[in-house]
Amino acid sequence: MFKVRTGQTNRPQQSTDYSIGGRIWVQKDGELYLGWGRVILLEKIEELGSISAAARAMKLGYRNAWLWIEAMNRLAPSPLIEKRVGGQRGGQARVTEEGRKAIARYKEIRRLFQEFIKGIS
């Protein structure tokens, strides 16, 4: 935490606390590939087996969830999510091995980033 003394006036000196923060995301060709929200979506799909259930759990619109998945699958070396269309119980989705690797890589990058931030604060 930084301690900064403000002003050289007749007023009593004040101390203001600053902190450093940041967010990390992964882009490919300038397009968002992975960020914290997308990783949470992947984990919810893994847990619940459904895009719609994962979206509801996150209070995320189904269309947004679908668009995020489409973008991640398009940008990834191989799909992160495999989808099966409807039926009596509705559609199903599962996280692929590539998806699990992407989650793990992102979490490691995020952990290292948080360590870096903590080290300079």
pLDDT at 37: 97
Q: What is the CATH number that goes with domain 24-120?
A: 1.10.10.10
Element spanning 43, H or E: helix 36-48
Distance (Å, rounded) from C-alpha 44 to C-alpha 38? 10
Query: What pLDDT is stored for residue 11 in this prediction?
Result: 59
Q: What integer pLDDT is reported at residue 2 of this predicted model? A: 41
Per-residue pLDDT of the chain (121 residues; tens, 9 = 90+): 444 444 455 655 666 788 889 999 999 999 999 999 999 999 999 999 999 999 999 999 999 999 999 999 999 999 999 988 765 666 799 999 999 999 999 999 999 999 999 988 7
* DSSP string over 46-101: HHHS-HHHHHHHHT--HHHHHHHHHHHHHHSSS-SEEEE--STT--EEEE-HHHHH
Sequence spans of domains, the chain: 24-120
pTM score, whole prediction: 0.80
Question: Which tokens go with 13?
Answer: 């000196």
In angstroms, the CA 94 to CA 45 distance is 6
**Confidence (pLDDT) at 5:** 44
